[in-house]
Every structure is written in C-alpha cells, then in structure tokens.
Amino acid sequence: MANTDKVQIVTPVVTAKFPNLLETEKFDGTDTGKFSLTMVIKPEEVDTIEKAIAQAGGGKGRSPLKLIATDDAYHPGAFQVKAKSKYPVRAVDVTGKPVDLGEITNGAEVRVKLGFAPYAQSGGGVTCYLGDIQLLKARKGADIDFGDLPPGYGEFEEGDLPF
C-alpha cells in the first residue's frame, strides 16, 4: 500500500505520554529504530481516531487504540494510541513557530498529525504513523504543591554553599 493511501488526521487535544522524540525508542535494551509518542485521549474526543482507524481497515485484526483501565491512577477510562515514525518529526507552537522537541514531555497538551494504514502480517490490523506535533501547553515542573519552603531553604547566592 502506498503512503498516499494512508488515512491522515489531526488529533483533538491529547496528552503526551512517554515521548521518544529526541532519540529512537529503546525497549528491553534494544533500539527500535523508531521515534514514538503515546497519546492519551479523553473518551469524549475519541471519535475522530476511531473513524480514521475504521476507514483504514479497522475491525480486522489489531487496533492501535487501547482503552485505559477504569482503575488507572492517572487516566481512568481514557484511551491511548501509540504512533511511530522512522524519521524525526517537527513541532510547532500555537503560532506555527518551531518548538524544540525536548519541550514535549509527559503531560504536555498537543495536537498531532497521524496516519493510519492497514497491515496483513500476524493476523493484520491497523498501524499508526507519527507526524508533526503542535505543542499547545507544555508541562512545567511537578503538579505537586509542597507549600512554603522550610526556614533556611531557598535561592542560594553565588558562593553561598549549602554545606
């Protein structure tokens, strides 16, 4: 199947999870040779992706779309899809200006160009190709509020060593 036969979409707003965008993904110590991004999709936003998978031949074999368990600590009842690319992708901000891929971290809110295509090996299914990314909201630091710092802790001035 030629690349022009892929079903291509732009996702709704999704949450980035396990981005491997600066270097190819490693799995069990082996380099997969592919860049990847797992995306978390809210249940009310999953229609666009389900339709693209169906249009690409879904319903036969494996689907790249997975339901996250309802007892998951972080995204209960949401869906996830993992997309891969042999080549580095590009990222832009909301104005279309280039963004360093290192800014796309776990928890970032993004929109992603995806391609879906059927495959026949091992019983068949639909695979998901990773395209360019639009960073809508970067995740900065931890989401945990520790409150005020204890006395004696704070910014150190140059030459002021903590020991």
User: Residue 155 falls within a domain, yes or no?
Assistant: no
Give the pLDDT of residue 148: 78
Q: What's the total number of domains in the chain?
A: 1
Domain housing 76: 3-137
**Average of per-residue pLDDT values in the chain:** 88
User: Residue 40 falls within a domain, yes or no?
Assistant: yes
Cα 63 to Cα 134: distance, rounded to the nearest angstrom: 24
Question: How crowded is residue 52: how many other Cβ atoms within 10 Å of its Cβ?
Answer: 22
Q: What is the DSSP string of 22-40?
A: SS--EETTEE-S-EEEEEE
Give the pLDDT of residue 154: 65
Q: For tokens 């997975």, what's the residue?
A: 66
55, containing H or E segment: helix 47-55
CB of 91 closer than 8 Å to CB of 112: no
User: Residue 121 falls within a domain, yes or no?
Assistant: yes
User: Residue 29 falls within a domain, yes or no?
Assistant: yes
CATH code of 70's domain: 2.40.50.140
How much is the pTM?
A: 0.81
CB of 89 closer than 8 Å to CB of 131: yes
User: Residue 142 falls within a domain, yes or no?
Assistant: no
- Tens place of pLDDT for every residue, the chain, 163 residues? 444 478 999 999 999 999 999 999 998 989 999 999 999 999 999 999 999 999 998 667 799 999 999 999 989 999 999 999 999 999 999 999 999 999 999 999 999 999 999 998 888 899 999 999 999 999 876 556 677 778 877 655 555 555 5
